[in-house]
């Protein structure tokens, strides 16, 4: 996340690692059902 944060900053986008982490967690929660289907 650190590298992504720095890269985005160089592009003029201010997006914290905390925000990106929260988005990652939210996506994982929403896609968890796919994992459940595949593991059966």
**Residue 5 to residue 1: CA distance in whole angstroms:** 6
Sequence spans of domains, the chain: 2-38
How much is the pLDDT for 12? 97
Question: Is residue 17 a contact partner of residue 5, using CB atoms and an 8 Å limit?
Answer: yes
Query: Are the CB atoms for 20 and 4 separated by under 8 Å?
Result: yes
Radius of gyration (Cα) for the chain, nearest Å?
14
Torsion angle, alpha carbons of 13, 19, 21, 22, to 10 = -140
Q: Which residue matches tokens 């997006």?
A: 15
pLDDT of residue 35: 87
Span 1-40, pLDDT tens digits: 999 999 999 999 999 999 999 999 999 999 999 988 888 7
């Amino acid at each position: 996340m650190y590298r992504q944060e720095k890269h985005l900053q160089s592009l003029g986008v201010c997006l914290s690692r905390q925000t990106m982490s929260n988005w990652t967690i939210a996506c994982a929660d929403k896609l968890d059902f796919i994992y459940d289907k595949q593991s059966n």
